[in-house]
Structure 1
Amino acid sequence: MLLLHNKKNLRTSIFKSISNVDQFKMLLLNWSQQFREIVYLDSNNYPQKYSSYNAVLAVDAFTSIKTDYHNAFEDLKQYQQQTKDWLFGYLSYDLKNDTEKLKSNNFDGLQFPDLFFFQPKKLFFLKDNQLEISYLAMCDDEIDSDFEEILNFNIEEESHKTNINVKQRISKEKYIEKVQEMLTHIHRGDIYEANFCMEFYAENIIDTVKIFKRLDEISEPPFACYFKNNKHYLLSASPERYLRKENTKIISQPIKGTSKRFEDATLDRQSKTELAQNPKERSENIMIVDLVRNDLSHTASKGSVNVEELCEIYTFKQVHQMISTITSEVEINTSPVEILKTTFPMGSMTGAPKISAMQIIEELEETKRGLYSGAMGYFTPTGDFDFNVVIRSILYNAEEKYISFSVGSAITALSEPEKEYEECLLKAKAMHDVLVS
């Protein structure tokens, strides 16, 4: 056991070896439920080039920031500079209204704040079988007792079926009409591409840990997240990274392009090959790559924006996805929040040109996106960060008993409304199944 004390941020760290990592992760998540604020991140051991930890748990706010979109990025910048500590939280999609003259007037059943971050008293970092426990000084005498409590935590058996009645906010007929309107905008030259989303919802009480566990098992994504802020919850099986900062390197990995998995190996390979060669999927991916390159250029050192991967196919349990990797370099004194502000919302969830696409999205969609298609992640004490894209996720307001998940697809000139609708249902399947089964 190694004990470290960091006077700069008053954290004490203890290192331990974990024998059964999967079991420990479940114990950790269940133990965390006693706290008002929780962020649990899990990479599910998905092979990826850019990764710091297999899993992270942050609980119990020492300080926090919660705000609407007005001046949100400036408030976050000041908070991050003042704490110079680990911060965990989210940026909702509607922070677009802080950077552009945009609005969000659609129905909101979830009522999440537009931005929330907290400085956790207690942190757990898992890398392979090595665990780092890092507590703020006022809690450091609790480390050993908490660790023993976690190891001996009693997990209740699975409850009965949920049988939740999930409803669709936009009917199939209405969805097709709206996509045709989007296509009219595209053919008129207003936009080249837009991500159009629709909501599924229910009113019920759910066991958030059990629902998250099922969703995570179905998908095993690299950016899974369980979030709690009092009565607000996010249960996310996201496969997509929004933005990561490693020292002066910035990494963006937008997803555009989806195809179905098959149990039959031949059909599955065929689906993967067809996705790689599909001109519509490649064109929508490349359009977003161009948009991300432009976004990164706002803070990049001259000539440093680079496309590391273009239209690579990644395989997940539910689907094959087309992912590109774009990187840049920034000056060492560049504010991390400024990098986020000049790239947010992520291009994969808006379209191109970005502002026009967001205006049309607001007109045609019927639900305020909120945290859906926003980003969840963390800042390190040195100003590095890593954020996912909040997709393939269930959002829940426990006070209102309101459950919501949304799905979308990229509409381009080559889009066929019926096929876009089928893609949405494919993306909705995992969230739907864990709620109704």
Structure 2
Amino acid sequence: MQYKYQTNSRKIMGDLHTPVSIYLKVRDTFPQSALLESSDFHAKENSISYLALKPIARIEVNRGISKMVFPDDKEESRELSDEFTISDSLNNFIERFEVEDSDIDNIGLFGYTTFNCVKYTENINIKESKEDKNDAPDMLYILYKYILVFNHFSDEITLIELQEKDELSNLNKIESLINQRNFANYNFFTEGDEYSTISNEEYKQYVRTGVEHCMKGDIFQIVLSRRFVQPFSGDDFKVYRALRSINPSPYLFYFDFGGYRIFGSSPETHCKVEGNKISIDPIAGTTKRTGNYQEDMEGVEFLLNDPKENAEHVMLVDLARNDLSRNAHDVEVEFFKEPQFYSHVIHLVSRVSGVLNFSANPIKAFFDTFPAGTLSGAPKVRAMQLISEIETHNRGAYGGCIGFIGLNGDINQAITIRTFVSRNNELWYQAGAGVVSQSKDEYELNEVNSKLGALHMAIEKATKLHNS
């Protein structure tokens, strides 16, 4: 069955509103919404944020089964196989919807792909979680009825709704909610101390094991991570607000899936498709940011000249080129080893792009690049196999992707790093370091801690945002 919609939209002035303020006003009326912000307003193409309200259809993949739920509550399930892949399931779901009119560029699916989905694309034995609280789908993408598009460049908000034939518009209600002055406010509290699922010494043993595999020639590089947990009570949206102020990044997101939430401030684009152009922005090379200009410049010089950091970066740029070449031509490096500054770290960033082949499918191209080499290693498949052996639990959301898949074929996916998973009054967060043959365990441990600096500060700041 085909589900047909037309779009209805209107523009309102956005100079008195922010995505955060509107989210706070509408979230009690429209739970399970998705907020996807950009913090880079310098360029017109990067000045768009989205707020998606009222889920009407979804596709999820869990334990090898693809399940589609449609607007009329009909469900279809099918087991994934070589003949019906995870990209096939997403394409089939999208093909069930037909949307007319000019707002199609802003209509699509919002959701995530966990790192665990590598078991559906490669021969990787991912550790299965048997805990009830870990039963979130491996992949989940949702079609929403209402989309608010914030153009920070022109200070306009476009309200868009999907309408069935002869359905009455509900945009007046949305606009009324936006213009209300009051909204409920809830506080955030930590409950006890943060803990890690492994000790510092155990993580250093991870690193030493990774170095051994590099020295034996099994791999050239591997990214090994560790998880932290902070029990809490109250409103975790306060943590998101704190994080976006402490660590503004190209991708800021807060997705509420009902029983759990995923939110963060990711600096790294995994895969972006616009028309027939596809790109990846690998980040490899990290040093701590001190806030002192001279010391930070010395850190940049260290990154640019350190043999270990350079070898790792070149390796991952080459991996991105190879991944794109499976579905694209004219693959090139647009910029190389560009220092980018964040609240607690300095990264080296490159951009690799290409032109999709005429017969290429954007969603298949996305999965052919998944997961990012910067979160797995090289060669990618062997690195992922070793990650599954070395790390004590599966990664879940960490190292996967989160973002938007348009019905028109456009894709914008961030790597799920600098990210919290909130469930059962616990915040889970994770960070890793790239290990090569020259790696030192203490240095890699410190790199992981530096990457978590903004998240720790966000938790602390959130506890002080009382009545605000």
Give the TM-score of the pair, scaled to structure 2. 0.86
How far, CA to CA, are the matches of 1:46 and 1:417 in structure 2? 39
Aligned pairs (5 A) from 1:351-430: 351-397=377-423, 400-430=424-454
> Could you say what secondary structure the match of 2:349 adopts?
strand
**Bigger mean CA offset, 244-253 vs 311-320:** 311-320
The superposition leaves residues 331-386 of structure 1 with CA deviations (integer Å, 9 ceiling, x where unpaired) of 34422211112111111111000110001101111121111111011122311110
2:312 aligned with 1:284 = yes
Check conservation: 2:52, 2:148, Cα contact below 8 A. Answer: yes
Partner AA of 1:40 in structure 2 = L
**Bigger mean CA offset, 239-248 vs 62-71:** 62-71
Describe the shift of the 1:189–1:48 C-alpha distance in structure 2 as closer, same or farther (beyond 3 A): farther
How far, CA to CA, are the matches of 1:140 and 1:332 in structure 2? 40
Residue matched to 2:8:
12
Partner AA of 2:110 in structure 1 = F
How far, CA to CA, are the matches of 2:235 and 2:422 in structure 1? 10
2:71 aligned with 1:75 = no
Match of 1:93 among 109, 115, 122: 115
Match of 1:113 among 133, 137, 146: 137
Residue matched to 1:61:
55
Aligned pairs (5 A) from 1:84-163: 85-105=107-127, 110-128=134-152, 129-137=155-163, 141-156=169-184, 159=187, 161-162=189-190
Aligned pairs (5 A) from 1:174-189: 174-189=202-217
2:38 aligned with 1:43 = yes
Q: After TM superposition, what 4+ stretches of structure 1 lie above 6 angstroms from structure 2?
A: none
> Could you say what secondary structure the match of 1:227 adopts?
strand
Partner AA of 1:354 in structure 2 = K
Match of 1:199 among 210, 227, 237: 227
How far, CA to CA, are the matches of 1:279 and 1:81 in structure 2? 48
Check conservation: 2:109, 2:141, Cα contact below 8 A. Answer: yes
Describe the shift of the 1:106–1:98 C-alpha distance in structure 2 as closer, same or farther (beyond 3 A): closer
What is the count of residue pairs matched by the alignment? 424
Partner AA of 1:427 in structure 2 = K
Check conservation: 2:38, 2:46, Cα contact below 8 A. Answer: no
Check conservation: 2:113, 2:139, Cα contact below 8 A. Answer: yes
- RMSD over aligned Cα atoms: 2.1
Check conservation: 1:272, 1:320, Cα contact below 8 A. Answer: yes
Partner AA of 2:88 in structure 1 = E
Check conservation: 1:248, 1:330, Cα contact below 8 A. Answer: yes
Residue matched to 1:3:
none
How far, CA to CA, are the matches of 2:181 and 2:138 in structure 1? 34
How far, CA to CA, are the matches of 2:284 and 2:267 in structure 1? 12
Match of 1:309 among 335, 353, 357: 335
Consecutive unaligned residues of structure 2, counting only runs of 5 or more, are 65-79, 81-85, 99-106, 464-468
Shift of 1:222: 0.9
> Could you say what secondary structure the match of 1:205 adopts?
strand
> Could you say what secondary structure the match of 1:37 adopts?
coil
How far, CA to CA, are the matches of 1:80 and 1:167 in structure 2? 41
How far, CA to CA, are the matches of 1:306 and 1:89 in structure 2? 29
The superposition leaves residues 91-117 of structure 1 with CA deviations (integer Å, 9 ceiling, x where unpaired) of 111111111121221656643210101
2:218 aligned with 1:190 = yes
How far, CA to CA, are the matches of 1:235 and 1:322 in structure 2? 24
Shift of 1:89: 0.9
How far, CA to CA, are the matches of 2:19 and 2:441 in structure 1? 42
**Bigger mean CA offset, 126-135 vs 109-118:** 109-118
Check conservation: 2:278, 2:353, Cα contact below 8 A. Answer: yes
The superposition leaves residues 40-78 of structure 1 with CA deviations (integer Å, 9 ceiling, x where unpaired) of 1111125569x4543111121111111216223321121
Shift of 1:259: 1.5
How far, CA to CA, are the matches of 1:309 and 1:226 in structure 2? 30
Check conservation: 2:270, 2:282, Cα contact below 8 A. Answer: yes
> Could you say what secondary structure the match of 2:33 adopts?
strand
How far, CA to CA, are the matches of 2:302 and 2:181 in structure 1? 47
Consecutive unaligned residues of structure 1, counting only runs of 5 or more, are 1-6
> Could you say what secondary structure the match of 2:433 adopts?
strand
Describe the shift of the 1:349–1:152 C-alpha distance in structure 2 as closer, same or farther (beyond 3 A): same
The superposition leaves residues 129-178 of structure 1 with CA deviations (integer Å, 9 ceiling, x where unpaired) of 12111101157622122112112142455736535521011111111112
